[in-house]
Amino acid sequence: MGRTVLIVDDSNTMRKIVSRSLRQAGLDFDTILEAGDGQEALDVLGGNKVDIILSDINMPNMNGLEFLKAKSENAAIKDIPVIMISTETGADIIDEAKSYGAKGAIKKPFTPEMINETLGALL
């Protein structure tokens, strides 16, 4: 069965860039799912098997940290690895993300090489 990635970002542009960067990094996913905020991401996770999640932090409605917290409280999805991709990579914010189970963080702007380096270890 092929691998599935979920990209969570309120920017349609950034979702396209992340998707393109995954291909450029040589990380072939059979399915790329998208969500515009944390709540949409939870909805997507409720109906799809996802192998890894790439999530922004600064989003409307439900931000990335709130999404991580909600996900960590749901036994069905809590073990899906999450990498944060954000302009918000201050030590306090990343520590909070990791306390909710985030496996790493990539700072915007990023390159396909940075994506490969961070995701390669988890796949």
Partner 1 sequence: MEHAQYIIDSTQEIFSSMIMLEVTPGQPYERAHEPLRNSISGIIGLAGSTKGLLAIHLPNSAALAVTTAFLGMEVEEIDDDVRDAIGELANMVAGNLKSALDPSGSDIKLSMPSAVHGEEYSIDCLANSQTVTVPFSFNGDNFLVELQFRQD
Residues that bind partner 1 (CB under 8 A): 10-14, 16-17, 20, 58-60, 86-94, 107-111
Q: From CA 104, how far away is CA 122, in angstroms rounded?
A: 10
In the complex, minimum distance from the CB of residue 115 to partner 1, in angstroms, rounded to a whole number: 12
In the complex, minimum distance from the CB of residue 117 to partner 1, in angstroms, rounded to a whole number: 14
For 14, residues 6+ apart whose C-beta sits below 8 A from its C-beta are 56, 85, 108
Residue indicated by tokens 């072939």: 28
Which is closer to partner 1, CB of 20 or CB of 49?
Answer: 20
Which is closer to partner 1, CB of 10 or CB of 40?
Answer: 10
Which is closer to partner 1, CB of 90 or CB of 120?
Answer: 90
In the complex, minimum distance from the CB of residue 87 to partner 1, in angstroms, rounded to a whole number: 2
Which is closer to partner 1, CB of 1 or CB of 13?
Answer: 13
- Asked if residues 2 and 29 have their Cβ atoms less than 8 Å apart, the reply is yes
- Asked if residues 8 and 41 have their Cβ atoms less than 8 Å apart, the reply is yes
Q: From CA 117, how far away is CA 121, in angstroms rounded?
A: 7
In the complex, minimum distance from the CB of residue 23 to partner 1, in angstroms, rounded to a whole number: 11
